[in-house]
């Protein structure tokens, strides 16, 4: 998808092209590209896209923010842009101002729950938190007696066990041992951990769809260059059909992710139909990541299996992103329960509601 009408996405695209060229990053072993890239993103106001101006953010629309995420997915870059955007969005739900610097959110998995104690401290463990080791601050949803609260926490106040995800991006365990937050506010009515996870799922869906677009581009280009049996492999019908399937999976991911992003951007209430949009996006994008990554690797053969080639930057990230903010299995169970509870004759009206 080209976002010609979207100046924010164009800015992101230009920054990634200038400062995060995949080949350069792939060769650079000490990560010296990260600081200038983050600085440029910050100067452009992108990490705080979803933070209104009164909370010290850029006040970009939800829709433009989602398009930044699909650009970020296409670039497959290892900086916490999506995480900081999500954190800023979460804080803004409770009118908490966003600080400068990298942020992430917790919890990032439906298996974890953080507790707000009576003295205003937070206790609990959050696993698989992306980029916690890089973050200065963590935006948190914690539940206490009076319901859910949103808090801004200094990352250095938490005990962080470093971990790595499939693509070697930080995926850490964050321990909150009666941590006192910098700011604490009640969440708006109806907002809870599930709302954060749904939004996180939607963010990852955008990124996966973007990564699939790049996988498709890399695979198509490679098939037009690589010669085997005295012809370009793009001329073999078996290869063509595989690439057509990859285009199909990419399309499914794009359609599901952009529809869900659009539905969320319209400010519709979080009803069953909006839940369907977000859950379906995460489920279908994750399925597409599996099928798409397999085809891209098949087309590139051994070269695509090397550290040296850039393909893994996209395939492994797309596969890793499946696990964040609820896997496709988790959301499928939740969606299945919802559908069953509504009953057979209410399934079609749900599907046809938009």
Partner 1 sequence: MTAALRFDPIRLPAECEQLRKEVRAFLAEEIAAGTFDPHKPQREDSDNPEFSKRVGERGWLGMTWPKKYGGHERSFLERYVVTEEMRVANAPVRRFFVADRQSGPVLLKYAPEHIKMDILPRICRGEVCFSIGMSEPNSGSDLFAAKTKATKTNGGWLINGSKIWTTSAHMADYMIAIFRTSPPTKENRRHGLTQFLVNMKKPGITVNPIAQITGQYEFNEVVFTDHFVPDDHMLGEIDSAWKQATSELAYERSGPERFLETYYVLTELVRAVGPKPDTRSAEGIGRLVAQLHTMRRMSVSVAGMLQAGKEPVVEASIVKDIGTIWEQQLPHRVRELAAFVDDSASNHATLDEMLGFAIKTAPKLTIQGGTTEVLRGIIARGLGLR
Interface residues toward partner 1, by CB under 8 A: 1-2, 213-214, 216-217, 220-221, 223-224, 234-235, 237, 239-241, 243-245, 247-252, 254-256, 258-259, 261-263, 276-277, 279-280, 283-284, 287, 328-329, 331-337, 339-341, 343-345, 347-348, 351-352, 354
Select 117 or 259, whichever has its Cβ closest to partner 1. Answer: 259
Min separation Cβ 228 and partner 1, Å: 15
Min separation Cβ 305 and partner 1, Å: 22
DSSP-assigned beta bridge partners for residue 213: none
Rounded CA-CA distance 68/71 in Å is 5
Using DSSP's 3-state secondary structure scheme, residue 179 falls into strand
**Strand pairing of 122-130 and 147-154?**
unpaired
Select 261 or 293, whichever has its Cβ closest to partner 1. Answer: 261
Select 282 or 317, whichever has its Cβ closest to partner 1. Answer: 282
Min separation Cβ 342 and partner 1, Å: 9
First-to-final CA distance of the chain: 22
Select 116 or 252, whichever has its Cβ closest to partner 1. Answer: 252
Rounded CA-CA distance 254/284 in Å is 10
Task: Give the count of beta carbons closer than 10 Å to the beta carbon of residue 102.
Answer: 21
Select 157 or 247, whichever has its Cβ closest to partner 1. Answer: 247
Rounded CA-CA distance 50/289 in Å is 26
Min separation Cβ 209 and partner 1, Å: 10
Min separation Cβ 249 and partner 1, Å: 8
The answer to whether the peptide bond before residue 265 is cis (omega within 30 degrees of 0) is no
Rounded CA-CA distance 215/314 in Å is 7
Min separation Cβ 251 and partner 1, Å: 5
Select 159 or 231, whichever has its Cβ closest to partner 1. Answer: 231
Q: Pick from 167, 265, 251: which is nearest to 209 by CA?
A: 251
Q: Pick from 132, 164, 110: which is nearest to 317 by CA?
A: 164
Select 166 or 220, whichever has its Cβ closest to partner 1. Answer: 220
Rounded CA-CA distance 73/51 in Å is 20
Select 126 or 212, whichever has its Cβ closest to partner 1. Answer: 212
Min separation Cβ 218 and partner 1, Å: 10
Min separation Cβ 79 and partner 1, Å: 22
Q: Pick from 65, 15, 70: which is nearest to 209 by CA?
A: 70
- With tokens 């046809």, the residue in question is 352
Using DSSP's 3-state secondary structure scheme, residue 250 falls into helix
Min separation Cβ 270 and partner 1, Å: 16
Q: At what angle do helices 328-342 and 272-300 cross, to 10 degrees?
A: 140
Q: In what helix (H) or strand (E) does residue 14 lie, and over which residues does it extend?
A: helix 7-19
Select 109 or 206, whichever has its Cβ closest to partner 1. Answer: 206
């Amino acid at each position: 998808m080209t976002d010609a009408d979207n100046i924010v996405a164009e800015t992101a695209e230009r920054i990634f092209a200038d400062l995060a060229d995949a080949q350069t990053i792939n060769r650079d072993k000490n990560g010296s590209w990260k600081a200038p890239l983050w600085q440029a993103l910050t100067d452009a106001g992108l990490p705080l896209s979803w933070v209104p101006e009164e909370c010290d953010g850029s006040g970009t629309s939800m829709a433009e923010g989602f398009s930044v995420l699909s650009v970020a997915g296409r670039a497959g870059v290892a900086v916490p842009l999506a995480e900081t955007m999500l954190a800023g969005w979460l804080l803004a739900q409770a009118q908490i101002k966003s600080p400068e610097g990298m942020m992430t959110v917790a919890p990032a998995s439906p298996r974890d729950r953080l507790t707000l104690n009576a003295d205003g401290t937070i206790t609990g463990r959050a696993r698989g938190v992306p980029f916690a080791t890089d973050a200065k601050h963590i935006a948190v949803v914690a539940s206490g007696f009076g319901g859910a609260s949103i808090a801004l926490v200094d990352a250095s106040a938490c005990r962080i066990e470093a971990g790595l995800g499939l693509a070697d991006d930080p995926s850490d365990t964050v321990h909150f041992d009666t941590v006192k937050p910098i700011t604490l506010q009640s969440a708006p009515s109806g907002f809870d951990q599930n709302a954060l996870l749904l939004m996180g799922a939607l963010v990852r869906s955008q990124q996966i769809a973007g990564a699939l677009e790049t996988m498709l581009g890399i695979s198509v280009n490679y098939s037009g260059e690589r010669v085997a049996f005295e012809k370009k492999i793009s001329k073999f019908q078996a290869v063509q059909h595989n690439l057509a399937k990859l285009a199909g999976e990419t399309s499914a991911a794009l359609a599901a992710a952009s529809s869900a992003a659009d539905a969320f951007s319209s400010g519709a209430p979080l009803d069953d139909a909006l839940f369907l949009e977000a859950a379906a996006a995460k489920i279908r994008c994750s399925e597409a990541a599996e099928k798409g990554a397999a085809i891209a690797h098949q087309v590139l053969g051994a070269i695509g299996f090397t550290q040296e080639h850039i393909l893994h930057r996209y395939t492994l990230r797309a596969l890793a992103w499946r696990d964040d903010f609820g896997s496709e299995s988790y959301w499928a169970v939740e969606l299945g329960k919802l559908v069953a509870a509504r009953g057979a004759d209410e399934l079609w009206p749900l599907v046809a509601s938009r």
